[in-house]
Structure 1
Amino acid sequence: MRKEIRRCLDNLVSIGIGVALFGIWTVIRIIMTIILERDMLISQIKNTVELSTGQIMIILGIIIVFFSLVILSIHLYIGLSARKEGLGGKKRTGYLIANGLYIIVYCIGITAEIINFTWAFRTITEGIATIFIDITMLVTLGELMFNAVRVRKLTGQLTETKAR
């Protein structure tokens, strides 16, 4: 049982680092997408509201910074909390709740991407790659949840066994 607990704790460390790094990658991907699609975004916004290009850029910048910080914060919170638990630190329940909510968000997002495939992506390759990346992250979050719950369950059983 101790060997299984150690394996799950090691998995939490690895997966936690992966989730944190994926958050950084997600922010980079958002910024790169906005940079590459800037002209299209500006023209679409100009068609709906009367703003100058400078005003649109400022608004887009604020929105991008806000969402990037939120996404990065969530990934870092989940990832670093899992890593800390895997290294023997405090076992927090908050990051597991955030992880569960993020799993739900990813499920909804993947479903929406599949349903709106032709609208959401310019090319089939882009769509398939994005969906596979999102599915990979979903599996990673699920694996993190599984290992965290398993550690807590096995640790409880070990404590009960010692108490007898």
Structure 2
Amino acid sequence: MRLDLADGPATTADVIAMGNLDARMEGLTGQATRGSLTGDGWGELVELTALRGHVLGRIDEAERAASLAEAFVDQAPNDPRSHVARARLATHFHRFPAALADLDAAAALGLDRRILDEERAALHQAVGRYDEALALHHNALLRRHDFSALSALRWLANLGA
């Protein structure tokens, strides 16, 4: 049997994938409205909303994700994940000092250092602080060999950092 990849790999149809995304977001939004959304659920809703905006190229979805991240912090100010969600959206909108402040708040609330280092490394890369990003990615790779840290190191190495 010969495998013909001329048509590309079989994937979920875009209409079905977007329908699944919309349905998941609708379910999470309903939970948020009822006040029963967990911290993980808030994080997922923010991330899925940002993803939807990215996929569709719609800034209003990214702005909605930023509003949801703000609501997450309002609902759970002592949950470090809320500050990470808001930091990611602040980075998306190039509000780097605000993103760093949220990461500092998440650190003060006891968020796992590995997660903080990953977020800080991405932030340092975004602002061109490649030496700091390289050090964080290198430390991450020493702690845990994974594709994300390795690919970031390779990207930075290609820049000559």
- TM-score, structure 2 as length reference: 0.26
Q: Which has the higher helix share?
A: 1
- Which protein has the larger Cα radius of gyration, Structure 1 or Structure 2? 1
Greater relative contact order (CA < 8 Å, ≥ 6 in sequence): 1
